A and B are shown apart, each in its own frame.
Chain A
Amino acid sequence: MTTPSRRRRATYPTLVLAAVCSLGVGGAACGPLEAQAPDDPSTPPAKEQRQPIAPATAVDAGTSAPQPNDFFGGGAPYEAYPEDGGVP
């Protein structure tokens, strides 16, 4: 194995960062996100309408249905929100 030298960095936000930015409390971390997102004048003030995006939670081992990853394996996460999952 080699230690990778990354050619690029991810600039799309993680779910946690997206939640913070959506609340408008992310400060500098949300700069590029908000800079490209002009406010819709018809949208109510942020504090009234906006709620955080809940981070993904661990899979319940006793679920009543297999998770999407269970079907064909391969190790690629199927959903960031496993409890919402479902193979299309």
Chain B
Amino acid sequence: MSSHLSTAPARKRTKRLSWVLAATAASGLTLQAAYAQPVQVLEAQAVATMPGQTVGAAYLSLVSPTRAELVLVSSDAAKRVEIHRMSMQDGIMRMRRISSLALPAGETVRLAPSGVHLMLFELGRPLVAGEHVQLEFVTVDDRGQRMVTHARTPIVKAAAR
């Protein structure tokens, strides 16, 4: 009887301990997952500028393993990189700057012509097809964790629409 009384709290303790262990393991796994699978930058390409053109554009896809937000982009080739949303309605082209871009967990978010894209302002040098620019993406996930992802981005020739 006494043994039973003494084992009950012990069992409870064990249970609590296993919960703590499980939680630690889980959070460890999440952290590990976050570190093992950083935000991916896929198919990034910057468009070669035409002579006289002082702004550039870049297109790519982003995949974040956890829900995150793209809050800042920078480049070695430009003073400022902005996220813009282009829309076409009734033959009218409009571009608006957006301050951040939501990255739902595991979803591929495409930054493409005629949609959300990157604008490179005050280029330090012309963007020449065949060369590369560095792009740096700062994302912040749900837990406020900041992550920086770099992408060496090839420059490609502009295409006719």
Chain B binds chain A: no
